[in-house]
Structure 1
Amino acid sequence: MSDDDDFPPRRTRERLQGWVDDFLAEDGDSGHRIDVMPQEGERDLDTGLVVMRPRHSEMPIYIQPRAYDDPLWEMTLPARDEEVTMTPLELGRLAALVVAAVNLCTYLQFRSLEWDRRSGRRGD
């Protein structure tokens, strides 16, 4: 069964990678790494998880649909066990990362809504 025949609509890793590639083609290189990671979903189907990181840091921002079959997306900044002290330049880089993640999250949400509607499986 292809993901186009699946109900409700699924955002496979391949579909998400295509959307990320489209985003990068439109938005250009933001200086951040964007990876679409494997993530098992319901019925063991790959639903995808997008991870954005600054190029020279391992601090990730996770971007994903709120839930299975939910067209709305959310971002997660993982908790830290200790406080993080930053210079103004480092904090500025963090702010740029958050803005870039917001732009990507918004783009992925728009693409999900657009794809869900085109698939005929979600109303306007």
Structure 2
Amino acid sequence: MPFRSKDTLSAWLDEFAASGTGGGAVAFVADQDPVDGVDSGLVIFPLANATTSVYLAPIAVGVPDWRVTFEAQPEVTELSPDSVYDLCREISHAADLCAFLQRKSVEHMAQLAAAAQS
């Protein structure tokens, strides 16, 4: 099963949430039509302290590396110092999730390679 499938990514998000590392943030796998028969692997990471959209995705087909993307903001965001700290924590959790998904992708690809050699 490819690591970009919604089922695989949902299971990984559940595992990440259960670890407590995400600070209670609720990321989810986007519903998308596969492109050329391949799921995109798009994970949405909602921010409570900013109006921008943040998502995580693998950088290319067959590559386990992931990136966090911040879309342009539709409006200016003004925050108190406490809210800036909260936003920093959210972004840190997004980075933690991105690193987790990358580790899981590397492990998954290694398992597939080992199975192909047996």
Q: 1:99 aligns with which of 92, 106, 111?
A: 92
Following TM superposition, by how much is the alpha carbon of 1:42 offset from its aligned partner in structure 2, in angstroms? 3.0
CA distance in 2, matches of 1:106, 1:77: 16
Amino acid at match of 1:84: T
What is the alpha-carbon root mean square deviation over aligned residues? 2.4
Which whole-Å CA distance do the structure 2 matches of 1:82 and 1:58 have between them? 7
**1:76 aligns to what?**
69
Q: Give SS of 1:64's match.
A: strand
Alignment of 1:52-67 (within 5 A): 52-54=45-47, 59-67=52-60
Provide the identity percentage.
27
Match of 1:88 in 2: 81
- For the 8 Å contact 1:32–1:55, the answer to whether it is kept is no
1:42: which partner in 2? 35
Which residue pairs with 1:6 in the alignment?
Answer: none
Structure 1 residue ranges without an equivalent (≥5): 4-8
Greater CA deviation, 16-25 or 35-44? Answer: 35-44
Question: Which residue number in structure 1 is paired with residue 9 of structure 2?
Answer: 16
Unaligned runs of 5+ in 2: none
Q: Give the whole-Å Cα distance in 2 for the aligned partners of 1:81 and 1:55.
A: 15
In 1: Cα distance, 2:49 partner to 2:95 partner: 20
Cα distance between partner residues in 1 of 2:52 and 2:76: 14
TM-score by length of 1: 0.79
Equivalent position of 1:109 in the other structure: 102
Normalized per residue, the structure richer in strand is 1
